[in-house]
Amino acid sequence: ITITSGASNGTATVNDGGTPNDPTDDTIDYTPNADYNGPDQITYQICDADGDCETAVVDITVNSVNDVPTTVDDTASVNEDDTVNIVVLDDDSFGGDGASTGTITITSGASNGTATVNDGGTPNDPTDDTIDYTPNADYNGPDQITYQICDA
């Protein structure tokens, strides 16, 4: 088996089944690109001992799966008695399912100030949400906020 036209949205390789001189157990292994779903195609050729060859096409459908959203911890600095707008989603991902229709959620609030979700004027679109943090009056030091994002 020879792959003559590889996959557009993944990788395809010939697996010789551990027997490089026996093509009868050869297969094509396909792995889609991360978070990809949709159609893909591979064209391959198979030849016999006389050199006669045939070409065939494999149409592949990669089904969507429930990719879990991922968050990455963020840091921010703010002066006493001021407010900082934290763009927490810059390094997060809602996964292949996309964002939910609700805002991000603060699951554990600040101990030494207040934290609120700023929905950017779009309450049903969390992709522009940020967190506004204001420390208590005259407070300086560390604080922590825990937030959650949900996918569709």
Sheet containing 53-62: order of strands: 2-5, 38-47, 53-62
Whether residue 95 is predicted with pLDDT greater than 80 in this model: the reply is: no
| DSSP conformational letter for 4 | E
Mean local confidence (pLDDT), 69-84: 93
Residue 106 pLDDT > 90, yes or no?
yes
| 96, 99, 132 from 93: Cα distances, Å | 9, 9, 20
Q: Give pLDDT tens digits for 44-72.
A: 999 888 999 999 999 999 998 777 888 89
pTM above 0.85, yes or no: no
Q: Which residues lie closer than 8 Å to 107 by C-beta, 6 or more apart?
A: 146, 147, 148
**What is the chain's percent helix, strand, coil content, to nearest 5?**
5, 40, 55
